[in-house]
Structure 1
Amino acid sequence: MRLSIPLAVVALGLSAAPAFAADGKGLFADNCSACHQLTGKGIPGAFPPLAGSKIAQGDPVEPVTRVLKGRGGMPSFASELTDLEVAQVLTYVRASWGNKGKPVQPALVTSLRSGAKRENAKASLLAH
């Protein structure tokens, strides 16, 4: 009986991952695809590709911070997306277009949000 509970928890966690990424796909389409394209290939010379990106697939702290704070011409999404939504969209990015990054947990976004301030508010306004 003790083995069945941990196995059930693992099974629930694994079955939730595709749904979590699927929610991120819609968020990506609505918030990110104008610049990074639905293909994740970006626009050369303007917006970097996310497909194959070492930053997108690496330590999740960097992409979470970029989404929350913005960077260069990328706007801050701290006031537009919840912690769960940031985690969902980044989980989608990290698992799409051949990327092999692990899911982003909402708790990580929550912990980083408290220290997130806009890096360049003027660039964020211009990007919208």
Structure 2
Amino acid sequence: MRLSLLAPALLLAAPALAAPDGASLFANNCSACHQAHGEGIEGAFPKLAGNAFVQGDPKAVAETLLNGRGGMPSFKDQLKDDELSAIISTVRSSWGNTAPPIPPKTFTAIRNGAVPVPAKPTPGH
């Protein structure tokens, strides 16, 4: 009985986990292709600075990070939802981009199939 009374106090005393650092995660996972300042490499990797897609529909952006697109790798097996959220939220608010963050719960919902994502355009459309 005593242990159950102490459990809430132990939880309050535990140090808070630090949120993932989106800038560091971007540098380690994305900057080789998209470059440190989001300028990309023309003809190879899209520019993220001022990119309408990156600043657009959060579900489509989250689905792309999870599953990849074109030459972009899938990150669903390498990064956790809070890490993906930190990366894309940094991108969406850097280099002149002004889109709001995408919370980890969006990635979780897409992983679990709970959120329908917009269909990708077919080539030529």
Task: Indicate whether the TM-score tops 0.5.
Answer: yes
Partner of 2:100: 102
TM superposition shift of 1:109: 0.7
How many residues in Structure 1 have an aligned counterpart in Structure 2? 97
Partner of 1:23: 21
CA distance in 2, matches of 1:90, 1:74: 14
Larger Rg: 2
* Structure 1 unaligned regions, length at least 5: 1-18, 116-128
Higher relative contact order (CA 8 A, sep 6+): 1
CA distance in 1, matches of 2:95, 2:111: 27
* Structure 2 unaligned regions, length at least 5: 1-17, 114-125
Q: TM-score, normalised by structure 2?
A: 0.73
Identity %: 52
Output aligned runs, 1:1-128, within 5 Å. Answer: 23-115=21-113
Any runs of at least 4 consecutive aligned residues in structure 1 with deviations exceeding 3 A, and if so which?
none
